[in-house]
Structure 1
């Protein structure tokens, strides 16, 4: 029997069929690693499950028995310059990343009259085209692989039935890891001024010949005021724009000089039959807007949109170009260089995903976290619940991204691709020129985004999101999955102990002679950069010190609050109770002004050279005050645990802590129920003193003990140890001298290790980059690009990561 016959028989017995049009075909990326068809060993697509695997991940395939794979490998082939044609990068009407419109794709089995394989060119007819010389082609190679029969053969030699299935997979659009198009887009709504826009009588007739700025004479980036026909340069951006003489753009100056009654202007070069960039200079909008009557408003000046062709890039397209090409390392000092190596791998922007890329890079830079996922990647990958698809598993997808970012696997693959391309150049007698595809070492976080988006719909779209919100969501999701992580790895996962800390908020009311407090647990300090009264008048160039912002967070502030349905004046203060190993600080750059519009505080932020110093606070003097815990759990009824019942449980060999938690859940009447609870939960309950207790519950139990006359520190110690058993806590407080020892203040010293910066005027626009310190060197991570930088660029910082350096803890 020939190999083709064996393969045909195996395919028939396995019931292999071509994928339906809407079938989930994972053909672009390995589900267990970041390998793609561009990796040195390509991808192996299982023709039964339609899941893809890198060569080193084939052992993860649960459907590998008697499997047949389509092996796809895309290689770079040099082009001799005399044969090179002009190619073009395109940016579509809705935005997108630069793409080679002449990229070739093999049409398997199709031949032209000369016997050469046909190639299909794809082109966006509505795109702006920028030509450049092409240096290489991307050519896909295909073969069929069956490990159980030890058969490899070129696709053209495969049995007809197998070849037809392979062709269907090749032609399939593939699984879409987004519920929305991955495009760069902004939140643009209709201007409230559009419907009743004032337009002057006897307007000037606009001719497209020799258009120029009325003030400086520039001929590009011109904006037409839709009320009076004035033409002027666009406003200044953070790195461009304005008039040719360096002054603010004439268009917005004209708006101000005419009393602010002509708010709408359109960018002339973006006008087409369907659209055009319209900006509202009105203070209550101050953003790009939609003008549904744009064609009518332009006709007022003799402009027929049906005859106009777009000649300039839209604002969205310009933002794409700036974000991709801008040297963000200039936020630091000195010269930057491209950096490659373990821990220096970028993340491709999938379209408005700079927020995700920055957050993931910073989180993956935490050594304890990265080490845990690296050492346990195999168990995390092989023990995905049967009810969960691998591409939907957040733990697996995060683990594979961490592995790609922090090891040399992707770097070595890139070096191998470069080596092969250089060899091909030498064989063809062509001087090596670095292709665009090889300039950056980066991976696509498509499956991670997809998995996270299934849990939170905000992150499933192609819209820009808040980097802090994504960071918090991902960190909390990983913490919430600690039990699942432990199930897979058989190791304790104490991510929470790295980031989370407790703080207390006091409210003291002298008129009521009352002190109310509330304990909270969180992973991030949110610090106001300014007092609200300062936001409107502070010079935006004034530098703000982060240590001062921290001091302001802790200082006393007078507030108006409700108590018993009546308004009272109180003093509120914040106090840290514990200190984390990693301190995350978000500075509140965004706020709403008095007119209700969203604004950004652009003041540069400075960090003291020595870093930050944090202190926990001792007990606040509450003598003479009525003390009340305002935590929800304080209102729950407390119960007494029968000591004999507790001893009966402990006599079975269970720890006191497990027994107390069992009684908390099941009561002290049913011994069997308590035993069953312990057996079901003993793997999930930490044997550490109280690290897994809910902070709110601790505060509630402490409040009960304080009512009995014990100090705050004494009450907290006992509450952490005994939980709801107030009687046992009182006995212990009365007999154990150690428990009455005052809790010493802690001082923590923190050094900056990462910062996420936001560039732009609005939280929903702009661009995120991050800077991370590794082994004494700072690096800029701008999506796929990784560059060196001399110092920590903090002035545009939005989210800061500090590492405590006066003590160390481990994640396991």
Structure 2
């Protein structure tokens, strides 16, 4: 009775709020850590705001806020006893689907008041408001579950094929009708009965090229269909044996698009020659399946150390991260970042301060709080115990959501390019790092010098550029790639060669001197201005096909574990160098120029080209950097190349008008009308506008409710943000401490794992699996992390 009075007194003192009909109730996980109701002591749900805490953090929170009244909620799994009447064994239970024997979660609720957690009040019915609150807690769907249900993410981890441009292919009406089996290559003196393809233009059957399917094993094939395409120009072919009623699995290839494609009219095209998919069954592997068998499975086995008996490792810093839907790219990045001292200082050492200073009603959507919660858990050892395997690993689902925000790619459950995510995450961290708080990305951020020299006059221009990853462009080293014996299409490259190539002087052909008018070209040289505490390298082993689709090169990287970059330090303009003057006719500040065009023009300007020519090249290439560079080289002789650039008046961007039909097309893809209109003002057509949206979603101004127009509230420019960043500088010597490896044919599909050097041993982090590595795949990594050696 005394305790009931104490409860009533606590309620009257302002420690209780009756839950409203739309009250969000958090009961699945502690607000400050990853403990749930199944841990010892369960969770303590605060009756002032209905947020949950574990025992440790309930005490900290109560001392910090004075909110002392809690409902202790614990849940344990018990075997269901068979009942003749079929009634549940407890009225407050949640039935789960499980293998036999069947289990129930038995829930228990009681009231406690800080600091007397061992004194419980169970006669809740005598305090009506408390009883109703507990009943609401028991019956409600948790706020965490509601957030999950409202998520629109869809997991899809496969390669993305393009829709062929030959969807409306002109097929010959030659009367040819093919049998449903018994095919042979129609090329003279061939007659192969396997690896056969049918040409959808005229129905010709030819064999494909020979392919490796395993070490030392190749398919039969003489490449007669490729020869047929070269002779006829008929582009679209289908692999016989893959045709079935499941049209998505049919192997369609386009020779002039140089890729596997989707043919939306495939059934019609096949039936034209008598091949009815409904009457055929799949009897052969597709090209993609064979490539996966040969390359990805081999690479997968290497990177995950498949087949080796790996010793699990436990303790602080060895916490596994559960995959929440193609989130291995995020998991791998987090495992790498906790090895960076500034990240541990900011998000682990300062975690409690960050969490306590964050208002409880915003903590679940606060970036800094969620990042601190994850890093603190990873380094605590609380979720990596050999003696308590039931509570190992954490699921950083809320952090993934909060970090991604409304980004059109990272907010989905699709696989992503880990390099792109690192750049995105670092900008997010910097944006959420106030002046008085450490920005942990400063430890990895560095500056480079770009030295541009006009060959005609030897005058130079120096520009600075900020980076977080040193990207090694392997596709540009085709001439120095060394074939690996007994393999087909697999090469190796020395890290020294790749780094030296990055810093080598590049000749800019066709550059016209703004001083003499001579077209003698220019040179551009990159050097390091600062050397960060930690340095990230990306081995850019992905090349683009003719259709702009990334494909992976089979490249092994001969890694240098102890790296000295002293030779690549730059020192800026020397006393005996003369400056190349700025353009005499600077580009006018025209706000109508699309952001994508401005961005590409900026890249070209940094190479030393004139501003007006750069904007012109970027515009006519639809904001594509590679195309813009080629365009510039081809138009250096144009008489107006350096004239002031103004957006053509006929473009939607210049007129401020947007075609409603184009808006409707983009809206159908899942974007809002406001997003579509804004994107179409940055790009001239639907394709470019959608591409712009995928990379610039965060830069779209908010739409005001009153007018339906963009808010005029200015946001910090990229230049202003860069000016606020600081750069570490020190020794040029580094040691390899981590790697992120990719398995798959594209960076936005497949799987990522991390290998980190911890306590002198390499450790594999494969999502929730953490084990000592026996053979770290140093030659196959995509991202390398180095630490400065002083």
Q: Could you tell me the TM-score, scaled by structure 2's length?
A: 0.64
Question: What CA distance in whole angstroms lies between the structure 1 residues aligned with 2:6 and 2:205?
Answer: 77
Instruction: Identify if the C-alpha distance between structure 1 residues 310 and 145 changes in structure 2 by more than 3 Å, giving closer, same or farther.
Output: farther
Deviation per CA, 1:500-540: give whole Å up to 9, x if none. 23321111113133111112333321222242664999884
Q: CA deviation at 1:473?
A: 2.4
**2:147 aligns to what SS in structure 1?**
coil
Choose the corresponding residue for 1:166, options 121, 128, 138: 138
Q: CA deviation at 1:277?
A: 2.5
Q: Please give the root-mean-square deviation of Cα atoms over the aligned residues, in Å.
A: 5.4
Bigger shift: residues 224-233 or 198-207: 224-233
Q: CA deviation at 1:603?
A: 1.1
Deviation per CA, 1:80-128: give whole Å up to 9, x if none. xxx9xxxxxxxxxxxxxxxxxxxxxxxxxxx982434598677xxxxxx
Q: CA deviation at 1:460?
A: 1.2
Q: CA deviation at 1:233?
A: 12
Question: What CA distance in whole angstroms lies between the structure 2 residues aligned with 1:136 and 1:309?
Answer: 40
**2:358 aligns to what SS in structure 1?**
coil
Is 1:146 matched with 2:120? no
1:306-385 aligned at under 5 Å gives the runs 327=301, 329=303, 336-384=310-358
Question: What CA distance in whole angstroms lies between the structure 2 residues aligned with 1:374 and 1:748?
Answer: 28
Contact 2:738–2:784 under 8 Å retained in 1:
yes
Is 1:451 matched with 2:378? no
2:417 aligned partner: 466
2:536 aligned partner: 584
Instruction: Identify if the C-alpha distance between structure 1 residues 696 and 375 changes in structure 2 by more than 3 Å, giving closer, same or farther.
Output: closer
1:424 aligned partner: none
**2:141 aligns to what SS in structure 1?**
helix
Number of corresponding residues: 617
Gaps of 5+ in 2: 183-190, 588-718
Contact 1:26–1:52 under 8 Å retained in 2:
yes
Contact 2:741–2:754 under 8 Å retained in 1:
yes
1:756 aligned partner: 740
Contact 1:39–1:417 under 8 Å retained in 2:
no
Deviation per CA, 1:581-626: give whole Å up to 9, x if none. 1111122222334564433333111112543443454647856642
Question: What CA distance in whole angstroms lies between the structure 1 residues aligned with 2:476 and 2:236?
Answer: 31
Is 1:65 matched with 2:101? no
Question: What CA distance in whole angstroms lies between the structure 1 residues aligned with 2:47 and 2:286?
Answer: 43
Question: What CA distance in whole angstroms lies between the structure 1 residues aligned with 2:2 and 2:260?
Answer: 66
Question: What CA distance in whole angstroms lies between the structure 1 residues aligned with 2:282 and 2:144?
Answer: 35
Q: CA deviation at 1:224?
A: 9.4
Question: What CA distance in whole angstroms lies between the structure 1 residues aligned with 2:725 and 2:344?
Answer: 31
Question: What CA distance in whole angstroms lies between the structure 2 residues aligned with 1:574 and 1:163?
Answer: 66
Choose the corresponding residue for 2:248, options 259, 276, 296: 276
Is 1:181 matched with 2:153? yes
Question: What CA distance in whole angstroms lies between the structure 2 residues aligned with 1:698 and 1:191?
Answer: 45
Contact 1:277–1:288 under 8 Å retained in 2:
no
**2:326 aligns to what SS in structure 1?**
coil
Question: What CA distance in whole angstroms lies between the structure 1 residues aligned with 2:534 and 2:444?
Answer: 5
Instruction: Identify if the C-alpha distance between structure 1 residues 45 and 484 changes in structure 2 by more than 3 Å, giving closer, same or farther.
Output: farther
Choose the corresponding residue for 1:247, options 208, 213, 218: 218
Is 1:292 matched with 2:264? yes
1:191 aligned partner: 164
Contact 2:370–2:402 under 8 Å retained in 1:
yes
**2:405 aligns to what SS in structure 1?**
helix
Q: CA deviation at 1:203?
A: 4.1
Question: What CA distance in whole angstroms lies between the structure 2 residues aligned with 1:164 and 1:328?
Answer: 52
1:800 aligned partner: 784
Q: CA deviation at 1:77?
A: 5.9
**1:553 aligns to what SS in structure 2?**
helix
Bigger shift: residues 398-407 or 284-293: 284-293
Contact 2:111–2:122 under 8 Å retained in 1:
no
Choose the corresponding residue for 1:500, options 445, 449, 455: 445
Question: What CA distance in whole angstroms lies between the structure 2 residues aligned with 1:138 and 1:327?
Answer: 37
Question: What CA distance in whole angstroms lies between the structure 2 residues aligned with 1:169 and 1:698?
Answer: 43
Contact 1:68–1:144 under 8 Å retained in 2:
no
1:397 aligned partner: 370
Contact 1:32–1:57 under 8 Å retained in 2:
yes
Instruction: Identify if the C-alpha distance between structure 1 residues 616 and 302 changes in structure 2 by more than 3 Å, giving closer, same or farther.
Output: closer
1:513 aligned partner: 458
Q: CA deviation at 1:167?
A: 1.4
Question: What CA distance in whole angstroms lies between the structure 2 residues aligned with 1:225 and 1:263?
Answer: 6
Q: CA deviation at 1:795?
A: 2.0
Question: What CA distance in whole angstroms lies between the structure 1 residues aligned with 2:443 and 2:140?
Answer: 49
**1:36 aligns to what SS in structure 2?**
coil
Instruction: Identify if the C-alpha distance between structure 1 residues 263 and 449 changes in structure 2 by more than 3 Å, giving closer, same or farther.
Output: same
Gaps of 5+ in 1: 84-110, 123-132, 209-213, 419-437, 487-492, 636-691, 700-719, 721-744, 808-812
Choose the corresponding residue for 2:557, options 582, 591, 605: 605
Contact 2:539–2:783 under 8 Å retained in 1:
yes
1:586-735 aligned at under 5 Å gives the runs 586-593=538-545, 596-615=548-567, 617=569, 619=571, 622=574, 625-628=577-580
Question: What CA distance in whole angstroms lies between the structure 2 residues aligned with 1:154 and 1:417?
Answer: 35
Deviation per CA, 1:667-711: give whole Å up to 9, x if none. xxxxxxxxxxxxxxxxxxxxxxxxx99987999xxxxxxxxxxxx
Instruction: Identify if the C-alpha distance between structure 1 residues 6 and 271 changes in structure 2 by more than 3 Å, giving closer, same or farther.
Output: farther
1:786 aligned partner: 770
Is 1:482 matched with 2:447? no
2:527 aligned partner: 575
Q: Could you tell me the TM-score, scaled by structure 1's length?
A: 0.63
Instruction: Identify if the C-alpha distance between structure 1 residues 15 and 385 changes in structure 2 by more than 3 Å, giving closer, same or farther.
Output: closer
Instruction: Identify if the C-alpha distance between structure 1 residues 698 and 396 changes in structure 2 by more than 3 Å, giving closer, same or farther.
Output: closer
Contact 2:235–2:256 under 8 Å retained in 1:
no
Contact 1:263–1:280 under 8 Å retained in 2:
yes
Deviation per CA, 1:786-809: give whole Å up to 9, x if none. 23223542222221110111x1xx
Instruction: Identify if the C-alpha distance between structure 1 residues 694 and 37 changes in structure 2 by more than 3 Å, giving closer, same or farther.
Output: closer
